[in-house]
Each structure stands twice: as structure tokens, then as C-alpha cells.
Amino acid sequence: MRKIINIFLCMVLVCTVFSLSISAKNETPPEITDEENDVTGSLINHPVLLNILKRIGIINVQSFEFMDVTAANFYENKNEPDFLYVLIRINNLEYISLRTIYAIRWTFDGKHFAAGCHTHSNGEFKWFFAGRVFGLFDNWAYKKGLIKDISDCIIDQENNLILLKIPKVIIGDPEPGDVLTQTNAWTGLRFVREFLTFPFGGQMAIDPTPYGNDYTILY
């Protein structure tokens, strides 16, 4: 009987330690944090235009929730030292029929880099990218091969997460001890038709985060 009790107590202890490690891992503070419901931009600043788009069914209030970045961070896996992971947390991530860019940006070795994903007009996540950029998002850099397509991405709508796995070779090949600075996340909303975007200043709505903590490459 005593032996059975001892086995039971050991099992309880193991389960407790395991659950504590899981919860501690989940509570790791992100490198970048941002307020909720702080989306701004030219679309929101033009209430007449916004009301027209609402009336004809192109956009609704909920459209801004799914582009509201609340946190983002970098991390690595020691078993995969050639990759950098990026996690972006969205307030209410969902598929919607508007073009949107979700991205995270940083500076390394005096150069600007970004990684993210782009939704197309059918609302699906179609393009995952990473590489060197010269502005918020630079099509020229993509055409020149400085921004590369990446295939490893997880869209977790249940937990409002976008996870990107980036080969380090396409982001300057940082080594252990190198530091990524000026880290921040960003998302921008565009019209389905590109020509409608530009008269109102590029991104129709935008949520840039403030600069977060520097990240030091581990592996």
C-alpha cells in the first residue's frame, strides 16, 4: 500500500513540474508589446469614406480587429541553429477579403530586415516572405531577390498567432552573439484594388508597434 502511495505522489509531482514548466514557457514576455485597439491610418481618419465603404459592404468595424498587433517576439531552437523563428500575435486573427500585410522588422549590421505574410483578395494567406527591405515594404527589394519566399509558416487562428520559420542565410546570416536592434511589428490594411489605395496615402489602416527589446542570437 505504501509503495502504491509513493508511486502516486511521484506521478503528482511529475505532473505538477510539467504543468509549471508549460505555464512558465507560455508566460515568457514577448520582445515587442503593443496596445490593443490602437489601429490608425488614412481610412480611419476619413469617416465619410469609411461610412461609404461600410454601406456598400466592403469593410466593417471588425475588419480592424484582425489587423491589431498586440505582441511579437523572436526565438530559436538549438536543434535548428540555421533558423530564426518569429511569432506575431494578433488581436482577432481571421480570414477576410481585404489585402493585408502582417510583418515584423528589425535592424542587423546596419541593414533593415523584415519577415511576414500577405493576404490576397480572397482572404487567404498566400505569401510568406523574409529578407532585406528599404521601407515599410519594398517591392523593388523582392524583384531584386533581397526578399525571399519562405514556405514554413503556421497560421493559428484559434490562438491568434502567426509563426514564421526563417532561414538565417536570407536575413544576413547572423551568428551567436549578434544583436537584432530596432525590433518592431507592423500590419497594414489595403483595398482589394490597389489603385484605390494610393489617393489616401498608401496603407488604408496601419498598426505599428513601438520598438521592442533587442534580440541576441543564441545558436
Q: 21-43, pLDDT tens digit by residue?
A: 222 234 467 899 999 888 887 77
Residues in the chain: 219
Band of pLDDT at residue 46, cut at 50, 70 and 90: confident
| DSSP assignment letter at 30 | P
Q: Please tell me whether residues 21 and 126 are part of one structural domain.
A: no
| DSSP assignment letter at 213 | -
Q: Please tell me whether residues 39 and 19 are part of one structural domain.
A: no
Q: Please tell me whether residues 22 and 60 are part of one structural domain.
A: no
| DSSP assignment letter at 194 | G
Average pLDDT, rounded, for the chain:
77
Q: Please tell me whether residues 38 and 23 are part of one structural domain.
A: no
Query: For position 62, what pLDDT does the model report?
Result: 65
CA–CA dist 212, 50 (Å, integer): 32
CA–CA dist 34, 20 (Å, integer): 27
**Total domains in the fold of the chain:** 2
- Torsion sign across C-alpha atoms 158, 115, 207, 199: negative
Segment 137-159 shows an average pLDDT of: 79
Q: Please tell me whether residues 21 and 100 are part of one structural domain.
A: no
Q: Cell numbers at residue 26, please?
A: 507560455
Q: Determine what percent of the chain is predicted with pLDDT higher than 70.
A: 69
Q: Please tell me whether residues 116 and 165 are part of one structural domain.
A: yes
pLDDT by residue (tens digit) across 89-109? Answer: 998 887 666 678 889 999 999
- Residue 213's identity, in one-letter code, is N
Q: Please tell me whether residues 23 and 49 are part of one structural domain.
A: no
Q: Please tell me whether residues 23 and 111 are part of one structural domain.
A: no
Q: Please tell me whether residues 21 and 72 are part of one structural domain.
A: no
Q: Please tell me whether residues 9 and 87 are part of one structural domain.
A: no
Domain that holds residue 109: 31-216
| DSSP assignment letter at 114 | E
Query: For position 120, what pLDDT does the model report?
Result: 65
Segment 44-52 shows an average pLDDT of: 76
Q: Please tell me whether residues 51 and 5 are part of one structural domain.
A: no
Which contacts (CB < 8 Å, 24+ apart) does range 75-84 have?
A: 76/217, 76/218, 76/219, 77/219, 78/218, 78/219, 81/219, 82/167, 82/168, 82/169, 83/165, 83/166, 83/167, 83/168, 84/165, 84/166, 84/168, 84/171, 84/174, 84/217
**Are the CB atoms for 41 and 204 separated by under 8 Å?**
yes
Cell 502504491 identifies what position? 4
Q: Please tell me whether residues 23 and 37 are part of one structural domain.
A: no
pLDDT by residue (tens digit) across 61-81? Answer: 666 777 899 999 999 999 999
**Are the CB atoms for 112 and 180 separated by under 8 Å?**
no
DSSP string, 14-48: HHHHHHHHHHHHHTPPPSEE--SS--BSTTTT-HH
